[in-house]
Chain A
Amino acid sequence: RKEVEQDPGPFNVPEGATVAFNCTYSNSASQSFFWYRQDCRKEPKLLMSVYSSGNEDGRFTAQLNRASQYISLLIRDSKLSDSATYLCVVNAPMDSSYKLIFGSGTRLLVRP
């Protein structure tokens, strides 16, 4: 089982649609969670951190369910510019250090 699993998509939605992505993680000791966005042939960039209480940033809402070990990202009123791959990222504590584990990403295509 992968440490972080995502549906690869693609999700093909019209402009203005609401779309949701889920991600599951296997390490129950994980403490930090993020969504990164990666445009084609570009580097990943932080979209938002995910907090236990859930958090919203404009059209984007992230939620965390620790009991079920999943994270979600909701995008409302999709724009053409939202087309990208969305990477779910979880930190994995290991001994005295940690590392971030990236999911393989969910591809979103927003069409006119």
Chain B
Amino acid sequence: DAGVIQSPRHEVTEMGQEVTLRCKPISGHDYLFWYRQTMMRGLELLIYFNNNVPIDDSGMPEDRFSAKMPNASFSTLKIQPSEPRDSAVYFCASSPNRGGLGDTQYFGPGTRLTVL
């Protein structure tokens, strides 16, 4: 079975440019999570969706960040405009439909973003 798929795997862009990260969760998983990982702050939850509906976006750092989930098999995280401090690894994860409370989260391989 395919796991969580993320694209691109690496992205290098210049400050001010728009960046779009993509994620395909595991089929049948109702929960989708976006995380950001840096050396300084570790792994931080940005936003998560249940059945394509955003449930908690309190981790989204500012208005430059937005996330959508137009259907059960696709989600995007967009940064516009990007800044050097956004450089990090962005992970997408999905979880089965028991609410994720005690369920494993399956992570994608991540997108390594560098903003120059």
Contacts and interface: CB of A to CB of B under 8 A. Distances in A.
B59 to A, nearest CB: 8
B97 to A, nearest CB: 15
Nearest to A8: B42
Contacts of B101: 31-32, 91, 98
A87 B93 CA distance: 15
Given A42-B109, A100-B105, A87 B56 contact: no
Interface of A, secondary structure class, is strand
**Interface range on chain B (Cβ under 8 Å from partner):** 20 to 34
B108 interface: yes
A45 interface: yes
Nearest to B3: A43
A43 B105 contact: no
A67 interface: no
Nearest to B45: A99
A43 B109 CA distance: 5
Nearest to B109: A43
A102 interface: yes
Question: Which has the most chain B C-beta neighbours within 10 Å: A43, A45, A46, A105?
Answer: A43
B108 A104 contact: no
A29 interface: no
Contacts of A68: none
B16 to A, nearest CB: 27
Interface of A: 31-32, 34, 42-46, 49, 87, 91, 94, 97-105
28 contacts: A31-B101, A31-B102, A32-B101, A34-B104, A42-B109, A43-B108, A43-B110, A44-B43, A44-B107, A45-B107, A46-B105, A49-B104, A87-B43, A94-B56, A97-B55, A97-B56, A98-B101, A99-B45, A99-B48, A99-B56, A100-B100, A100-B105, A101-B45, A102-B35, A102-B42, A103-B42, A104-B42, A105-B42
